Structure 1
Amino acid sequence: MKLRLGLPKGSLQEATFNLFKQAGFDFTIRSRSYFPAVNDPELEVVLMRAQEIPRYVNEGVLDAGISGLDWILENEADVVEVADLVYAKSTSNPIRLVIAVAKDSNIKEVSDLKGKRIATELVRVTQKYLKENGVEASVEFSYGATEVKVPDLVDAIADITETGSSIKANNLRIIATILESTTRFHANKDAWADPWKREKLQNMAVLLQGALRARSKVGLKMNVPGDNLDKILDVLPAMKQPTVSQLVHSDWVAVEVILDEKQVRDLIPALKKAGAQDIIEYPLKKVIP
């Protein structure tokens, strides 16, 4: 039996492949091929636009897929969320679907969009948001390069932003956020009801989430004089408790801990000052709680 999996081709492809590799799944793809080989004989992988994946998952053409919450909602796909995977093309932050207008526009808030023209790739999501806010406006599909259409072609756009840099670069101003979206590992309901496929999906989710969790953490090892151990433990954070082991034929101990990478810069000098020696920082592949 095989699990048929849809992965995004395009802007999210590299980040997705890197995540899967860290989780233990290596892909080999030939030029112009949409069917990469993978080092798991139980997987059959298809590359396609992220915009389409939820529809094919919903219809049962794919057992599961990776796509954003925004596209799941746009396709009105009735799927099972296997895991919320917080990563994007450039960052590890959620992306936002925002409404933006020209910087000098007299449109200040959503209510000012009444009777206006809005371009977006996410037509249904945008229409639903406007309806919920009691605004009647013309929402049209955009095939891309949406930012350049304001103000000559349309009055506003609803567009995805990850860092906000493209919005600013095109002299636009955000007036509202429609939704925040993260990448979702989602499955067809029939596939989820199949015991073998469900277990396969759950095991993959554990590995993918473990790989993501590891990206913000590192390991630290150090040797500490036994009489300095309490001083070291006072300054040492940890996911749970540090591992402490006695060095052979010595009154020194080895201390090992997993912690947030952002803590390390200030922590290592403090550990050195407290008496730690032979400090080693190392990257992690996966962190499974």
Structure 2
Amino acid sequence: MIRLAIQKSGRLSEDSLKLIRECGISFVNSSLKLKTEATNFPLEILFLRDDDIPEYVADGVADIGIVGQNVLVEANQQALEVQALGFSKCRLSIAVPKTDTFNSIADLNGKNIATSYPNILGNYLAAHNVKAQIHTISGSVEIAPSIGLAEAICDIVSSGSTLISNGLREVEHVFKSEAVLISNQNLSEEKQQIIKQLLFRIQSVQKAQKSKYILLNAPNDSIEKIKSLLPGMKAPSILPLAEAGWSSVHSVVNEDDFWEIIEKLKDAGAQGILVVPIEKMIL
């Protein structure tokens, strides 16, 4: 059995549990419990503070964990980043009062910057030869300029609405982050095999989320043109229809290319196009 550490509450926790369920793993979850065990996979889930997850994984209390890259890098623990998970995307940015003039990162020389991420910020400033005073605070970082604690802040940004409501504006993007699966560096062969099985499921779910299954009807004299527009996993499946001179074409299209390809398919003569979500995709 392996132990997975995830955040005990919040959006990252919800998305992590959703991913585990999409991998076909069943468990009972309760807000009152700090751990739960899967009923159909050798997995125990621990619910922890996100800041504690890198240390728990590095120390071997948990075998793997799901945590934001920003938390992992800031913690500077000896845990391996195994897989980017594609959710809980955000950025760590420097912001200043919207009325302040800001031309470049050099403007921060000699200034005070409030942040909950002193290590990431310190490395960024050093890389840009900026010498500023870093004030480490936890929570409510955005209030620092208005109370005279700092001239700038460095904090996590998703939509930017919190900055705007506090009279701030982004001026530098310091670090891009998303949820990642991390692992202890010294796992037994047995646990590595279980993690490999879990990764296989996660990657199958991720591939499905990025793809659409499409079905369409087309006249046979348009098939070659339509085939050239459909990359698919290997080649589209083509089945004859009851109506002479027509075929049904089945394929998989990448989500990012979907609308552009659909337009081209219509122009090539495709009709009755159906789009179906994919639950799992195994190559």
* Same fold, TM-score > 0.5, yes or no: yes
Matched, 1:162 2:161: no
Instruction: Give me the whole-angstrom Cα distance separating, in 2, the residues matched to 1:238 and 1:264.
Output: 11
* 1:51 Cα offset (Å): 1.9
Counterpart AA for 1:18 = K
The equivalent of 2:114 in structure 1 is 119
Instruction: Give me the whole-angstrom Cα distance separating, in 2, the residues matched to 1:168 and 1:25.
Output: 41
Instruction: Give me the whole-angstrom Cα distance separating, in 2, the residues matched to 1:166 and 1:213.
Output: 33
Assess if the C-alpha contact under 8 Å between 1:237 and 1:259 holds in 2: yes
Assess if the C-alpha contact under 8 Å between 1:19 and 1:212 holds in 2: no
Cα RMSD over matched residues?
A: 2.5
Assess if the C-alpha contact under 8 Å between 1:29 and 1:37 holds in 2: no
Assess if the C-alpha contact under 8 Å between 2:25 and 2:41 holds in 1: no
TM-score under structure 1 normalisation?
0.85
Q: SS at the partner of 1:221?
A: strand
Which deviates further from its counterpart, 64-73 or 268-277?
A: 268-277
The equivalent of 1:224 in structure 2 is 218
Q: SS at the partner of 2:232?
A: coil
Q: SS at the partner of 2:146?
A: coil
Instruction: Give me the whole-angstrom Cα distance separating, in 2, the residues matched to 1:279 and 1:17.
Output: 34
The equivalent of 1:5 in structure 2 is 4
Any gaps of 5 or more consecutive residues in structure 1?
Answer: 89-93
Superposed, which structure 2 residues align to 1:166-177 within 5 Å?
Answer: 166-177=162-173
* 1:212 Cα offset (Å): 2.1
Superposed, which structure 2 residues align to 1:127-206 within 5 Å?
Answer: 127-152=122-147, 153-191=149-187, 194-206=188-200
Give the paired residue count.
Answer: 281
Assess if the C-alpha contact under 8 Å between 1:101 and 1:151 holds in 2: no
Structure 2 residue aligned with 1:209, among 186, 203, 206? 203
Which deviates further from its counterpart, 266-275 or 107-116?
A: 266-275
Superposed, which structure 2 residues align to 1:1-289 within 5 Å?
Answer: 2-9=1-8, 10-88=10-88, 94-152=89-147, 153-191=149-187, 194-246=188-240, 252-265=246-259, 267-268=261-262, 271=265, 274-289=268-283
How much identity, in percent, do the aligned residues show? 31
Which deviates further from its counterpart, 51-60 or 29-38?
A: 29-38
Alpha-carbon distance change, 137 to 263 in structure 1, aligned in 2, over 3 angstroms: closer
Q: SS at the partner of 2:51?
A: coil
